[in-house]
Amino acid sequence: MRNSTLRYLLLVSVLLNLTIVGTAGYRYYQHHNNSWTSPFGASMTRDRFLFEELALAPRQVEALKKKTVPFRAELDHQRAQIAEKRRELIALMRQDNPDLPAIRALIVEISARQEEMQQRVAAHMLEVKAQMNKEEQQRFFDLIENAMSKGKMTGCPSVE
């Protein structure tokens, strides 16, 4: 009798643990799959765009979405590459005898990738601006400035 009770409790415990792990995994996947990090470091819903707050014409919104979706994918790819280089940098610095020239070279590479990403963000913003009239442009840059001034762009963009 006691043996069967222990087996039953073990089974319940295993099922409970699997349920908790499954729920945690699902919530993690749901959060990370549905969000995107804006060029200003703010987490946004993946299907939400800054320019949608401007009350643009539907044709403008569609045209901008066609440009922005591939741009976001490109930024995500760049962020992943930078994150990998940062992990390599930490691994180099963890060594008992760190290779300073290799560390410096990796820092230069990370900086170059970040500069390239910033150049692409600026170019994309100018492409978006070109599709707007003067009033829309003013509101667009006001939104960007507001996002930056709220502390969403302190330091480097997130690489999560």
**CATH number corresponding to 48-152:** 1.20.120.1490
Domain ranges, ordered by start, for the chain = 1-33, 48-152
pLDDT band (50, 70, 90) for residue 46:
low
What is the distance between the alpha carbons of residues 139 and 53, in angstroms, rounded to a whole number?
Answer: 9
CA distances from 83 to 7, 13, 36, 72 (A): 46, 38, 15, 16
Single pTM value for the model: 0.61
Average pLDDT over residues 129-156: 77
User: For residue 27, is pLDDT > 90?
Assistant: no
Which pLDDT score, from 0 to 100, does residue 153 have?
A: 46
Burial of 128 (0-12, 13-18, 19+ CB in 10 A): buried
Average pLDDT over residues 36-58: 63
